Amino acid sequence: MASTPSIPSHTKAWVYSQYGNIEEILKFDSNVPTPHPKEDQVLIKVVAAALNPVDIKRALGHFKDIDSPLPTVPGYDVAGVVVSVGEQVKKFKVGDEVYGDINEITLHNPKTIGTLSEYTVAEEKVLAHKPSNLSFVEAASLPLAIITAYQGLERVEFSSGKSLLVLGGAGGVGSLVIQLAKHVFEASRIAATASTTKLDFLRKLGADLAIDYTKENYEELTEKFDVVYDAVGDSERAVKAANEGGKVVTILPPGTPPAIPFLLTSDGAVLEKLQPYLENGKVKPILDPKSPFPFYQTLEAFSYLNTNRAIGKIVIHPIP
């Protein structure tokens, strides 16, 4: 195993040892054993990490039957520097700048030491080299959300010339669905929903029609869509906005048939496929104006995520 000599035996991290509201149970711990990479893993010195709603649901115990054992360091998204590599790792070497969602399967046995830690481990296959034009903060904001956006569109066979309605277009996933649909999948027309103050933001992302969900019911529009991407958990209404033969994909369970429930599989190959669009600036990371929060303000960052008012992603940096 190749490594740098200065890896500490213990790491600073945010940890919870019981289930509950993450703002109440999450504690700072300066003495968490540094994880060791397996043969197919790399050890990453974390530079930035993003928060996701799944962190909050996991802490509440929604998936405890299939969760890894407590105590848990939360966090899925990482951007950082490789400091040690397992013997079977081919793609990365010590010193490489990488990013990814460290949990291949989101809910089944996710890692006990997540990305809200100085060091974390991840399998080679879930990581990609960080695009050179992106900061660590920008890169950390992307993996879970952009892979969800991309694979969700693939799941409903979205393709050039089709129309799309995005529910929750200003959120972490929705803001990337709009960009990918426009620049990667070449949608013919994109509509998206958000609250009043975020409509201009939707248009800047590439939406042709910005719908204020506080003032109009999108399912009552005369215009119907080939695909509805539900990023808010509103599939019962979403199916009424699809045209005949249209499809609805939802990323929040349970999903009312015929809506298709969908969860990502973390995959570095998707990040690599999208790298040209990130490097030429057509697809941009979307950071909430309050980002980044410093490591010591992680609790405040989770409180803000819980308000559901964030635009794009909330990132923690520097760590520590």
Rounded to 5 degrees, φ, ψ at 24 are -95, -30
Q: Is the dihedral of CA 158, 164, 168, 173 positive or negative?
A: positive
Residue 31 lies inside a defined structural domain of this protein: yes
Terminal alpha carbon distance of the chain: 26
Domain count, the chain: 2
CA pseudo-torsion sign 53, 263, 89, 92: negative
Q: Note down the domain range covering 216.
A: 146-261
Check which CATH number belongs to the domain holding 238 and give it.
Answer: 3.40.50.720
Q: Is residue 169 part of a domain?
A: yes
Domain's final residue, options 226, 243, 261: 261
Residue 106 lies in a domain: yes
Asked whether residue 282 is assigned to any structural domain, the reply reads no
Q: Is 55 helix (H, G, I), strand (E, B) or coil?
A: helix
Encoded tokens for 139:
């890169």
Angle subtended at Cα 26 by Cα 25 and Cα 31, rounded to the nearest 5 degrees:
125
Does residue 116 form part of some domain?
yes
Q: Return averaged pLDDT per consecutive 10 residues of the chain, 320 residues in all.
A: 77 98 98 97 98 98 97 98 97 97 97 98 98 98 98 98 98 98 98 98 98 98 98 96 98 92 97 98 98 98 96 96
pLDDT score, position 190: 98
Same domain, 35 and 109: yes
State the pLDDT at residue 69.
97
299 and 257 within one domain: no
CATH of the domain at 117: 3.90.180.10
Assess whether 78 and 189 both reside in one domain: no
pLDDT at position 5? 59
Domain for residue 85, yes or no? yes
Whether residues 54 and 92 fall in one domain = yes
In this prediction, residue 254 carries a pLDDT of: 84
Residue 248 CA to residue 312 CA, distance in Å, equals 22
Q: What is the pLDDT of residue 26?
A: 98
> In terms of domains, do 245 and 310 share one?
no
CA dihedral 14, 19, 22, 28 (to 10 degrees): -20
Q: Where are the alpha helices (DSSP H) in 78-185?
A: 136-140, 143-155, 174-183
- Degrees, nearest 5: CA angle 254-265-49: 100
Q: Which two tokens stand for residue 152?
A: 């969700």
Could you tell me if residue 276 is inside a domain?
Answer: no
Q: What is d(CA 299, CA 70) in angstroms, rounded to the nearest whole number? A: 19
Q: Is residue 140 part of a domain?
A: no
